[in-house]
């Protein structure tokens, strides 16, 4: 118990680190970059001013992202936006019954879903409806969010017309105001794609985990909570995302980790370190894929044709599929 005492302090420290990180990415530093960029090329058309050229490298300083609004209106519409923000930032409390673990949406969509390269909601909202190969049909934004409930939250999705889903979609719609409807490639969408190194080494990853991650997520990866509220989210185990979630793919996790972890110090790990530590973390036990067909090999064949370590702990040879 005594050990727990310093975690709230650490949470405050890490929260301010996040703020610092955000300011670096979207605050004054960015304005300088903006001025430099604008000095060397003609002024963009007004509707393009907030967009980075799609080819801009992610994580560098010369980037420019869409800036979502800050002020939520004080009216009936705004009330629902606020409800969506509450669900997004504290899912177990505000979407009770739908969420099946200790995670909240914000744990993987950082800064309330606003941060570029952390699968921000403003870039997602304008990209749906879209065909997804994961389920082989056109998905609405509601269905996309339901997917995160089923897999990332290891839960039962709220219905498309439920108050919870309406609040989440309203929140995303509000955040995306002014973004171009139908644009599938807004700069900062999703997580950055990291080129796969020649070899990925989980043993090296374990060492990186111990030195750079365990302080917050715990040596056992189970995270930390204070009075039942998650302060540092679990990375594996019964309270984390399940084997169907996008984050269990080593490439997706490597991109997320590179851009966002250690929290407040995004883009400090080398690509190799990000891949190695992602491989270590994604090679740990977690809840079964809800699409489980009663047979690990069959489920693996049908749904896991990507770089991952799917299999209940010990059930599959513990080696990666490429
Ligand atoms: C364990 C991490 C995790 C949690 C928790 C999580 N998500 Fe996601 N989410 C992801 C990943 C991974 C993707 C896929 C991003 C990609 O493919 O680039 C994603 C994608 C999305 C997208 C589509 C993004 C896009 O640009 O297409 C939306 C919308 C979304 N999540 C909403 C939510 C909501 C709402 C919640 C909470 C109910 C939530 N997520 C919880 C990891 C998570
Ligand atoms: C300073 C504390 C801190 C450190 C150090 C840290 N994290 Fe995190 N991590 C967090 C917090 C807090 C979140 C949730 C972000 C939020 O809600 O804003 C998070 C979220 C995550 C997530 C997505 C959520 C989940 O539960 O799966 C992953 C994956 C992750 N971290 C991996 C890592 C790895 C790998 C390292 C080491 C390279 C690391 N983290 C270092 C605090 C930290």
Q: Do domains 76-175 and 202-303 have the same CATH topology?
A: yes
- What DSSP designation does 117 have? T
Residue 7 CB coordination number (10 Å):
16
Q: Could you tell me the maximum CA-CA distance found in the chain, to the nearest angstrom? A: 61
Give this prediction's pTM. Answer: 0.84
Encode the chain (322 residues) as per-residue pLDDT tens digits: 334 334 444 444 444 344 333 333 333 333 333 333 333 333 333 333 333 333 333 444 435 899 999 999 999 999 999 999 999 999 999 999 999 999 999 999 999 999 999 999 999 999 999 999 989 999 999 999 999 999 999 999 999 999 999 999 999 999 999 999 999 999 999 999 999 999 999 999 999 999 999 999 999 999 999 998 999 999 999 999 999 999 999 999 999 999 999 999 999 999 999 999 999 999 999 999 999 888 899 999 999 999 999 974 433 333 344 4
Find out if CATH 3.40.1030.10 is the number for domain 76-175: no
Q: Quote the radius of gyration of the chain (alpha carbons, Å).
A: 20
Of 261, 271, 275, the residue with max ligand 2 atoms within 8 A of its CB, to mutate for a pocket test, comes to 261
Q: Are 108 and 116 in contact (CB under 8 A)?
A: no
Domain ranges of the chain: 2-48, 76-175, 202-303
In sequence order, what E strands does the chain have? Answer: 130-132, 137-139, 224-226, 229-232
Q: Are 128 and 183 in contact (CB under 8 A)?
A: no
Q: Could you tell me if the CB of 115 is within 6 A of ligand 2? A: no
Cα–Cα dist 158/18, whole Å:
30
Q: Could you tell me if the CB of 51 is within 6 A of ligand 2? A: no
> Which residue's C-alpha comes closest to atom 8 of ligand 1?
148
> Which residue's C-alpha comes closest to atom 37 of ligand 2?
213
Superfamily of domain 202-303: Cytochrome c-like domain (1.10.760.10)
Both tokens assigned to 180: 């171009």
Q: Could you tell me if the CB of 123 is within 6 A of ligand 2? A: no
């Amino acid at each position: 118990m005594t050990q727990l005492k310093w975690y709230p302090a650490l949470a405050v420290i890490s929260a301010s680190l996040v703020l610092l990180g955000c300011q670096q990415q979207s605050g004054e530093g960015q304005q300088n970059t903006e001025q430099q960029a604008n000095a060397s090329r003609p002024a963009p058309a007004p509707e393009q001013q907030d967009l980075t050229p799609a080819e801009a490298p992610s994580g560098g300083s010369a980037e420019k992202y869409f800036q979502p609004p800050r002020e939520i209106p004080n009216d009936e519409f705004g009330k629902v936006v606020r409800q969506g923000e509450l669900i997004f930032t504290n899912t177990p409390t505000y979407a009770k019954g739908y969420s099946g673990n200790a995670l909240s949406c914000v744990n993987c969509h950082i800064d309330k879903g606003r941060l570029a390269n952390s699968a921000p909601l403003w870039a997602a909202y304008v990209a749906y409806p879209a065909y997804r190969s994961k389920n082989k049909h056109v998905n609405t934004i509601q269905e996309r969010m339901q997917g995160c409930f089923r897999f990332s939250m290891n839960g039962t999705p709220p219905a498309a017309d439920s108050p919870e889903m309406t609040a989440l979609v309203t929140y995303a719609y509000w955040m995306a105001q002014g973004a171009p409807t139908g644009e599938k490639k807004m700069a900062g969408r999703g997580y950055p794609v990291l080129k796969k190194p020649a070899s990925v080494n989980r043993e090296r990853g374990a060492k990186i985990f111990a030195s750079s991650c365990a302080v917050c997520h715990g040596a056992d990866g189970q995270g930390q909570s204070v009075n039942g509220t998650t302060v540092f989210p679990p990375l594996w185990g019964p309270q984390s995302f399940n084997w169907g979630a996008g984050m269990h793919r080593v490439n997706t996790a490597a991109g997320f980790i590179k851009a966002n972890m250690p929290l407040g110090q995004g883009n400090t790990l080398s690509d190799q370190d990000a891949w190695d530590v992602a491989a270590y973390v994604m090679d740990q036990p977690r809840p079964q894929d809800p699409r489980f067909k009663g047979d690990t090999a069959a489920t693996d064949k049908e749904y896991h044709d990507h770089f991952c370590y799917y299999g209940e702990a010990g059930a599959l040879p513990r080696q990666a599929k490429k």
